[in-house]
Structure 1
């Protein structure tokens, strides 16, 4: 995963330079926040993106690619998107990603016994789902 983050940071820095921006955290933070309609990013977040320590969530990756006039798949993953979804589909996927992340966080706050119950429930549901589709 660390290699993927570093590769992303290199693509981001190159895209910023190509668009005429110096690839520095303060520049990234300022330019991104002036265009993004969601929650702003902090200097530390911009620094983590540019230093290969983190990758933005899907909604922020979309905004970065749009700002830098770059293919989303190319910026995020190093390859062009084969099937680009509509903006509505992309926003729905980003919302689903956020909901999943919130669920995982909630599960992490449970006691060990509660997490075991959740794990067993998910295992049963997955088994029932695979029987229906098989």
Structure 2
């Protein structure tokens, strides 16, 4: 069994329980089909979601996320990727000041060949100063 699908199934069952629904195929089929405006799901189809055999398409994932009040990316992938991105963004925001931000904005406006030159210069400086990761 694909672990991503199994993890989705676990998150789906947990979200159903958190909203007061039994994580059973009949309940999922009924509640999903009353809220989804596309092609309805069969009992067998939603059972496969709950068993971790398949994952819903994006439109169905959006319906599930609205119904269960869980962000679609959290339902599909879990909250860890989002938390990791937020932590990385926070450390990035805290680590640079106005002058550095201004330089990054100027860098982004440079043509691609000039950006490569700037990266090469920075990499050479990092090697010269024995910076980690250089």
Q: TM-score range by the shorter chain?
A: 0.5 to 0.7
Summarize deviations over 1:108-129 as a string: whole Å, max 9, x none. xxxxxxxxxxxxxxxxxxxxxx
Runs of 5+ consecutive residues of structure 2 not aligned to the other structure: 86-134
2:66 aligned residue: 66
Question: TM-score, structure 2 length as denominator?
Answer: 0.59
* 2:65 aligned with 1:49: no
Residue 37 of structure 1 pairs with residue 11 of structure 2: no
Rounded Cα–Cα distance in structure 2 between residues aligned with 1:70 and 1:37: 19
TM-score (norm 1): 0.59
Give unmatched runs, 5+ long, in structure 1: 83-134
Aligned pairs (5 A) from 1:79-94: 79=79, 80=82
Computed over aligned residues only, the root mean square deviation of the Cα atoms, in angstroms, reads 1.5
Task: Report runs of 4+ in structure 1 exceeding 2 Å deviation.
Answer: 79-82
What SS does structure 1 have at the residue aligned with 2:27? helix
Task: Return the alpha-carbon distance in structure 1 between the equivalents of residues 71 and 37 of structure 2.
Answer: 20
Bigger radius of gyration among the two: 2
Query: For residues 18 and 49 of structure 2, what CA distance do their matches in structure 1 show?
Result: 17
Structure 1 residue 52, shift from structure 2 partner: 0.5
Question: Any residues of structure 2 matched to 1:1-134 within 5 Å, and which?
Answer: 2-79=2-79, 80=82
Q: How many residues align?
A: 82
